[in-house]
Structure 1
């Protein structure tokens, strides 16, 4: 199963449309996971044209998104449980907040966003995965989103690109 993982699209503020590189991958994905800060429901509507969309609300999302999506989600996919959480809050680092959100749960992978910083590492046997931002790289060298492949194993990778318009 191929899953596209995105976060912090901040549309339409940071981009008027989804980056071409992302759209290319969306053509043949089984599922899309958005880790919050969509900004408006239009992003959901656009993504939903490609595949089923799951996600959580972030700290800049409008009321419509807050009503549609929770702050935390656990998706059972194959033999794995994928936790999704935006990562905003008052204390700790974004990464620690993501881990803390699932401390009572059994998850194999935690997808989070908020920092716009790509992360891919294991902590206590849990794969921590922040796709970065497809539209707002801030101080990062590139824009990015994530690719999660789930079959007998669970594998994650980042797709980096320099230009969100081509």
Structure 2
């Protein structure tokens, strides 16, 4: 199973349309996971053109997005349990916030966002994955999103691109 992973789109403030590289990368995916900070529910329909969307709301999302997705969830995809959370909070790093959100729950991977910093690590046997942002790279050199290939195990990779047009 091929899953597109996106976070922190911050549209329409940071982009009026999905970047071409993201469109190309999501083509052929069977599911899209968005880790929050949509900022506009209009973006949901943009992504649903490619595949069904599972998501959570981020700290910059309004009540309409919070009501639709909630702030934390676990989805089953390809026989694996994937936790999704934005990762915001105080007193810990973003990866630590994300990891703590699923303490005591069985997940095979945790997808999170918030920092706009691409991240991939394995912690206590759990894949930790932040795709970065396809529209707001902040201090990163490139924009990014991710792909998860789910089979007997979960493989994750970042896709980087220089322009968001």
Same fold (TM over 0.5): yes
Q: Which moved more, 1:105-114 or 1:22-31?
A: 22-31
Query: What's the secondary structure of 1:97's corresponding residue?
Result: helix
1:146 aligns to what SS in structure 2? strand
Q: Is the 8 A contact 1:40 1:64 kept in 2?
A: no
Q: 1:111-144: CA deviations, max 9, x gaps?
A: 0000000001111111100000000000001000
Match of 2:86 in 1: 86
In the alignment, what sits opposite 1:101? 101
Superposition map of 1:1-166 within 5 A:
1-165=1-165
Distance apart, 1:56 and its partner CA: 0.2
C-alpha contact (below 8 Å) 1:133/1:144 kept by paired residues:
yes
Maintained 8 Å contact 1:4/1:147: yes
Hey, which bits of structure 1, 4+ residues long, moved more than 6 A?
none
Q: CA deviation at 1:50?
A: 1.2
Residue 78 of structure 1: how far off its partner (Å): 2.5
CA deviation digits over 1:50-74, x for unaligned, max 9?
1100000000002210110111110
Aligned-pair CA distance for 1:161? 0.5
Whole-angstrom CA distance in 2 between matches of 1:59 and 1:122: 25
| TM-score normalized with structure 1 length | 0.97
| Separation of aligned partners in 1, 2:26 and 2:112 | 19
Cα-to-partner distance string for 1:28-57 (whole Å, 9 max, x where unaligned):
110000000000101101111111000000
Q: What is the CA distance between 1:26 and its match in structure 2?
A: 2.0
Q: How many pairs align?
A: 165
Q: Which runs of 5+ in 1 are unaligned?
A: none
